[in-house]
Each structure stands twice: as C-alpha cells, then as structure tokens.
Amino acid sequence: MQLDLIDFIKRFGDTTVIENMSLSVQSGEMIALLGPSGCGKSTTLFAICGIHRIDEGRLLFGGTDVAHLPSQSRNVGVVFQNYALYPHMTVAENIAFPLKV
C-alpha cells in the first residue's frame, strides 16, 4: 500500500521539531530514515503509526487520509528498538502482545 506524508509538521509545545516534511513510499518499496539522534526519525514513525498526533499536513495510506484516525484504526504498528520488548517473550510474542491488549 502506498504511503504519502504531505507537508507534515510536528510540534512539541512551542517547538517545531519537523517542518513541511513530505515523503512518498510506493507499495512494496523499502526505505530507511537516517540521521543523527534527535533529528525526527522516531517522531516521524510515531506520527505515521498514530502514537504522535500530526499537527499539520496529510497522511495518506493508499490515497485515504488517515491523519485523523486513532492508532488502532490505522492497521500499522511499530516494534521498538529495545526498551519496550519483553525479554521472556519471543519476537513473535512481542509483536503479537499489543494486539491482545
């Protein structure tokens, strides 16, 4: 499914952390977000997943704007790098756990 992020703006309080970012990922395409710590990589992913609210701009999944939808209605998830994983669970169990909650 195609993903389009158009003129994305994210603020935390009075601080704009991402300003007018646009990104298009075609169905089947893989990309990498690269940059130094604090540049907005995780913030962008969290906005796509619905963990962070998009302050301005559009987020399209397959041409449908989902920016207003809550995270559970987007059919998108994130596997955190380390601190949110349960060490006693397998990878599959860690991924499936939030779906059960």
Contact 54, 8 (CB under 8 A): yes
- Supply the pTM of this predicted model: 0.75
84, pLDDT greater than 90: no
Residue with tokens 């940059």: 35
What pLDDT, on a 0 to 100 scale, did the predictor assign at position 9?
A: 97
List the single range of 60-69, 71-80, 89-98 with lowest mean pLDDT: 71-80
Where are the chain's structural domains?
Answer: 3-100
CATH number for the region 3-100 comes to 3.40.50.300
99, pLDDT greater than 80: no
Neighbour tally for 50: CB within 10 Å:
21
